[in-house]
Amino acid sequence: MKRRVCIGTSSFGSYDERPLDLMREEDLTWDLNPRGRRLEGPELVEFAWEAVGLIAGNEPLDESTLPYLKRLRVISRCGVGLDNVDLDVATRCGIRVFNTPSAPTPAVAELTLSVTLSLLRHTSWMDRDLRAGSWKKRMGHLLRGKRVGIIGFGDIGQEVARLFQVLGCSLGYADPREIDSDLPARRLGLRELLEWADIVSVHISGGGREGPLIGEFELGHMRQGAWLVNLSRGGVVDEDALAASLSSGRLRGAAIDVFGEEPYSGPLTGYDNVVLTPHVGSYGLEARVDMEIQAVRNLIEGLRIWDEA
C-alpha cells in the first residue's frame, strides 16, 4: 500500500512539477493543503492523522498536534526556521525533523535589498500617489554610504551583507556567535548595533515566541531617522511599538514581511512610509522550487532511515 504524505504549505507544486514527480518516483501518495492558508491545530490533526510524512509550512507542530498524529514519522519543513516545531515533543513521538536551510537564501536576500531600496527612494509611496492621480516627486536617499546593521549573521544574513557591500554600504552584525567570514562586517552588541546603523535588517532563524526581540526599548535606541527591515520571523518586532516609533518620527520607515498574526491587518497598514509584503521572503520562483525539491528529498531520506531502523 502506498504511503500517505500530507503537504501543509499552501502553494506546494504550483510552479513546477518536479517536487511532485520525486514523490511519484518513490510511490508516495499525497494530499495538498485543502484550505490554501496556514492550518490551525485541529485542522492539521484532521488533515494529517493518517500520514507517515508531513511537508510542513508554519502550522503548529507541538503538544497540541504531534501526539495525535500517531502514524507520523517524518516532518520535512519547507523553509529555514523550526520555531513552529517543538523538537522535544517530536523526539518523544519518534518523529524525525528536517528543514531546508540553504534554498531560500538568495530569494530572502534579494527581497531585503528590494524593499530597502523601495524605502529609501519611496518607490511604493510614489506608485500609490500616481495611481491616486497625484503627480508628486518625493526626494529619497542613496543607499551608498549607509551603515547597515544585520541582526542574525547566518547564511541569509551574510548573503544580505554581500549585496549591500557591493552597493557601498558599511556593515555590522549582531549574533550570539563570532562568525568566521570574509565579509568586512564588525561584530557589535545588539544595543551598539541599533545605535550605530542607519538601516537595521533582521535575519534571525528563530524567535518571537518568548516576546519580541525588537520592542519599545530597542526601537528607542535606534538612530533618529533610521529604517527597520524584518524578513525573519513574525513576532520578532513589536508591531505596535514600531507604529508608535513611526508616528513620532523617530524612525523614517520600515519594511515588514512577517507578522505576529497572519494575514496582517494592523496599524502598520496606515503608514505610507512602510513597505508591507505577505510573507513572501522565499517567493523567488527558482529558490521556491529548489526549496520544495529539497523538502521532498529530506522527506524521502527520513522515511528511508525509518525503514532501516
Catalytic residues: 233, 262, 279
For residue 60, the Cα-to-chain-centroid distance in whole angstroms is 16
Please give the Cα distance from 254 to 230 (Å, whole number): 8
C-alpha torsion angle, residues 254, 257, 261, 263 (rounded to 10): 120
In angstroms and rounded to an integer, the radius of gyration of the C-alpha atoms of the chain is 21
Only one residue has cell 498574526, namely: 261
Yes or no: say if 207 and 234 are a contact pair by the CB < 8 Å rule. Answer: no
Strands of 90-178 (E only): list them.
96-98, 147-151, 170-174
The residues, ordered by sequence, that sit 6+ positions from 133 with a Cβ below 8 Å of its Cβ are: none
**Other beta carbons less than 10 A from residue 260's beta carbon:** 16
Yes or no: say if 158 and 101 are a contact pair by the CB < 8 Å rule. Answer: no
- Give the helix ranges, DSSP H, for 148-276: 155-166, 190-196, 216-220, 239-248
